[in-house]
């Protein structure tokens, strides 16, 4: 059995004055997530928005509880490390047999 657990998070960046500044913050957050939690991360939407960014993360494991636990820890990290605030998030898993 293989479980893919996914996190989608929208981060609000108040006070950001350029898309380049927002992207620099998102690239830094993605890099820290991938290194600290050993997961895949990408900017998945809202690329043209000045105030919001969306990151998608995926973690592959053999147990749903493990994957979702890692993603909850990643979300906690984002809530403290992001230069803005977490506006919305969703965590879910798909099971493949």
Give the predicted TM-score (pTM) of the model: 0.87
Burial class (CB in 10 A: 0-12, 13-18, 19+), 31: exposed
Supply the pLDDT for residue 2. 94
**Mean pLDDT to the nearest integer, 53-67:** 95
| Between residues 32 and 87, the one the model is more confident about | 32
66, pLDDT greater than 90: yes
83, pLDDT greater than 90: no
Q: What is the DSSP string of 32-74?
A: HHHHHH--EEEEEE-TT-SSEEEEEEEEEES-HHHHHHHHHHH
């Amino acid at each position: 059995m293989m479980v893919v657990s996914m996190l989608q998070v929208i981060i609000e960046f108040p006070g950001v004055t350029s898309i380049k500044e927002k992207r620099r913050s998102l690239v830094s957050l993605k890099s820290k997530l991938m290194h600290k939690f050993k997961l895949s991360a990408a900017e998945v939407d809202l690329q043209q928005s000045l105030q919001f960014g969306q990151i998608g993360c995926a973690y592959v494991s053999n147990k749903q509880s493990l994957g979702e636990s890692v993603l909850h820890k990643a979300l906690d990290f984002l809530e403290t490390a992001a230069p803005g605030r977490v506006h919305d998030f969703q965590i879910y898993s798909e099971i493949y047999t």
